[in-house]
Amino acid sequence: MIWWASGISVLMFLGTLVAIPILLVRMPEDYFVSQPVRDWPTRHPAIHIALVLIKNLVGFSLLLAGVSMLILPGQGLLTMLAGLTLLDFPGKRKFELWMINHRPLRQAANWVRRKNNRPPLRLPAGR
Protein backbone atom coordinates (compact mmCIF):
# COMPACT_ATOMS: atom_id res chain seq x y z
CA MET A 1 0.00 0.00 0.00
CA ILE A 2 2.83 2.41 0.83
CA TRP A 3 4.43 1.68 -2.55
CA TRP A 4 1.20 2.61 -4.31
CA ALA A 5 0.83 5.83 -2.32
CA SER A 6 4.46 6.71 -3.00
CA GLY A 7 4.06 6.01 -6.70
CA ILE A 8 0.91 8.12 -6.93
CA SER A 9 2.62 10.93 -5.04
CA VAL A 10 5.58 10.91 -7.42
CA LEU A 11 3.28 10.84 -10.47
CA MET A 12 1.24 13.77 -9.13
CA PHE A 13 4.41 15.73 -8.41
CA LEU A 14 5.83 15.13 -11.89
CA GLY A 15 2.48 15.76 -13.55
CA THR A 16 2.05 19.12 -11.88
CA LEU A 17 5.61 20.12 -12.72
CA VAL A 18 4.56 19.84 -16.36
CA ALA A 19 0.88 20.85 -16.30
CA ILE A 20 0.90 23.90 -14.01
CA PRO A 21 3.45 25.93 -15.98
CA ILE A 22 1.56 25.17 -19.18
CA LEU A 23 -1.72 26.37 -17.67
CA LEU A 24 -0.15 29.50 -16.16
CA VAL A 25 1.59 30.43 -19.42
CA ARG A 26 -1.59 29.94 -21.45
CA MET A 27 -3.67 32.02 -19.01
CA PRO A 28 -4.32 35.48 -20.49
CA GLU A 29 -2.60 38.29 -18.57
CA ASP A 30 -5.98 39.98 -18.09
CA TYR A 31 -7.71 36.84 -16.75
CA PHE A 32 -8.41 38.48 -13.39
CA VAL A 33 -9.54 41.87 -14.77
CA SER A 34 -11.66 40.80 -17.75
CA GLN A 35 -15.19 39.45 -17.60
CA PRO A 36 -15.28 35.66 -17.70
CA VAL A 37 -16.28 34.16 -21.03
CA ARG A 38 -19.17 31.76 -20.54
CA ASP A 39 -20.12 31.12 -24.16
CA TRP A 40 -18.40 28.31 -25.98
CA PRO A 41 -18.85 28.03 -29.74
CA THR A 42 -22.23 26.59 -30.61
CA ARG A 43 -22.07 22.81 -30.56
CA HIS A 44 -24.45 19.96 -30.27
CA PRO A 45 -25.85 20.01 -26.69
CA ALA A 46 -24.41 16.56 -25.91
CA ILE A 47 -20.92 17.65 -26.96
CA HIS A 48 -21.22 20.86 -24.97
CA ILE A 49 -22.29 18.97 -21.83
CA ALA A 50 -19.48 16.43 -22.29
CA LEU A 51 -16.86 19.18 -22.64
CA VAL A 52 -18.14 21.01 -19.55
CA LEU A 53 -18.10 17.77 -17.56
CA ILE A 54 -14.54 16.94 -18.68
CA LYS A 55 -13.34 20.46 -17.88
CA ASN A 56 -14.88 20.29 -14.40
CA LEU A 57 -13.52 16.78 -13.80
CA VAL A 58 -9.99 17.90 -14.69
CA GLY A 59 -10.41 21.00 -12.51
CA PHE A 60 -11.66 18.95 -9.55
CA SER A 61 -8.78 16.47 -9.99
CA LEU A 62 -6.26 19.32 -9.96
CA LEU A 63 -7.93 20.85 -6.91
CA LEU A 64 -7.73 17.54 -5.01
CA ALA A 65 -4.13 17.04 -6.11
CA GLY A 66 -3.30 20.56 -4.92
CA VAL A 67 -4.88 19.96 -1.54
CA SER A 68 -2.93 16.74 -1.13
CA MET A 69 0.27 18.54 -2.17
CA LEU A 70 -0.07 20.80 0.83
CA ILE A 71 1.33 17.83 2.79
CA LEU A 72 2.99 15.90 -0.07
CA PRO A 73 5.73 17.17 -2.41
CA GLY A 74 4.48 19.47 -5.12
CA GLN A 75 3.19 22.91 -5.99
CA GLY A 76 0.02 22.74 -3.90
CA LEU A 77 -1.28 26.31 -4.10
CA LEU A 78 -0.48 26.75 -7.80
CA THR A 79 -2.16 23.42 -8.57
CA MET A 80 -5.23 24.45 -6.57
CA LEU A 81 -5.41 27.77 -8.45
CA ALA A 82 -5.17 25.98 -11.81
CA GLY A 83 -7.92 23.56 -10.77
CA LEU A 84 -10.15 26.40 -9.61
CA THR A 85 -9.83 28.21 -12.93
CA LEU A 86 -11.28 25.14 -14.67
CA LEU A 87 -14.17 24.58 -12.26
CA ASP A 88 -17.59 26.20 -12.53
CA PHE A 89 -19.19 27.12 -9.20
CA PRO A 90 -20.89 30.16 -7.65
CA GLY A 91 -18.41 32.63 -6.15
CA LYS A 92 -15.52 31.23 -8.17
CA ARG A 93 -14.21 34.61 -9.33
CA LYS A 94 -14.16 36.06 -5.82
CA PHE A 95 -12.30 33.01 -4.49
CA GLU A 96 -9.76 33.12 -7.34
CA LEU A 97 -9.06 36.79 -6.62
CA TRP A 98 -8.68 36.03 -2.92
CA MET A 99 -6.11 33.32 -3.73
CA ILE A 100 -4.09 35.33 -6.27
CA ASN A 101 -3.95 38.27 -3.87
CA HIS A 102 -1.74 36.21 -1.57
CA ARG A 103 1.68 37.59 -2.40
CA PRO A 104 3.68 34.30 -2.46
CA LEU A 105 1.17 32.69 -4.84
CA ARG A 106 1.08 35.73 -7.13
CA GLN A 107 4.88 35.92 -7.16
CA ALA A 108 5.19 32.22 -8.00
CA ALA A 109 2.65 32.49 -10.83
CA ASN A 110 4.33 35.58 -12.28
CA TRP A 111 7.77 33.95 -11.93
CA VAL A 112 6.60 31.03 -14.08
CA ARG A 113 5.14 33.46 -16.62
CA ARG A 114 8.31 35.58 -16.68
CA LYS A 115 10.47 32.48 -17.28
CA ASN A 116 8.32 31.80 -20.36
CA ASN A 117 8.46 35.39 -21.67
CA ARG A 118 4.85 36.15 -20.72
CA PRO A 119 3.71 39.38 -19.05
CA PRO A 120 2.68 39.22 -15.37
CA LEU A 121 -0.94 38.66 -14.43
CA ARG A 122 -2.88 41.91 -14.01
CA LEU A 123 -5.17 42.36 -11.03
CA PRO A 124 -8.15 44.69 -10.61
CA ALA A 125 -7.33 48.20 -9.41
CA GLY A 126 -6.87 48.48 -5.67
CA ARG A 127 -5.56 44.92 -5.26
Q: Is the pTM of this model over 0.75?
A: no
Domain regions of the chain by residue span: 45-127
Buried b (16+ CB within 10 A) or exposed e, 12-33: bbeebeebbbebbeebeeeebe
> pLDDT tens string for the chain (127 positions)?
777 777 777 777 777 778 778 888 888 888 888 876 666 666 778 888 888 899 899 889 888 888 887 877 667 777 888 888 888 888 888 888 888 888 888 898 899 899 999 999 988 876 5
